[in-house]
């Protein structure tokens, strides 16, 4: 008899929990598989850029004589054209980073390169 009451109580408890929204029970909704895949791709791109940015910054800090960007001139007239057409790409982010930071380290842009012109 006791076991029957316990089973009935457990069943009523489950029914009651279903009526209470998951958030109020301390649960959270997990993203869909598509959402997780998109988040993973964004995380991977973000991590990839962090590594790339650190590499560029280290090159600037170490004062390498020049940083050349190998632009395919059959596809693009200039780095700016490439950056517009490939917005959001690592290539665009590299050019933007160097354009924004290289001068502070004593570099000057010459064509598709950043050349060290003075010691800091």
For residue 112, CA distances in Å to 35, 43, 60, 98 come to 38, 30, 16, 11
Strand (E) or helix (H) holding 60: helix 33-62
Question: What is this structure's pTM?
Answer: 0.64
**Per-residue pLDDT for 87 more than 90?**
yes
DSSP readout, 20-45? S-GGGGT--PPPPHHHHHHHHHHHHH
Higher pLDDT, 79 or 42: 79
* Separation CA 114–CA 64 (nearest Å): 10
Spell out the domain ranges in the chain.
Answer: 34-120
pLDDT digits 0-9 by tens, 20-76: 665 566 666 555 555 566 677 777 778 889 999 999 999 999 999 999 999 999 999
* Separation CA 86–CA 18 (nearest Å): 49
pLDDT, averaged across the chain = 82
């Amino acid at each position: 008899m006791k076991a029957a009451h316990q089973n009935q109580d457990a069943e009523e408890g489950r029914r009651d929990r279903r009526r209470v929204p998951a958030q109020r029970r301390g649960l959270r909704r997990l993203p869909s598989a598509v959402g997780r895949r998109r988040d993973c791709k964004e995380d991977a791109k973000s991590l990839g850029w962090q590594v790339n940015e650190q590499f560029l910054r280290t090159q600037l800090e170490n004062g390498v004589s020049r940083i050349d960007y190998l632009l395919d001139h059959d596809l693009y007239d200039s780095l700016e054209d490439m950056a517009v057409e490939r917005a959001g790409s690592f290539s665009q982010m590299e050019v933007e980073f160097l354009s924004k930071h290289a001068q502070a380290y004593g570099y000057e842009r010459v064509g598709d390169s950043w050349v060290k012109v003075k010691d800091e």
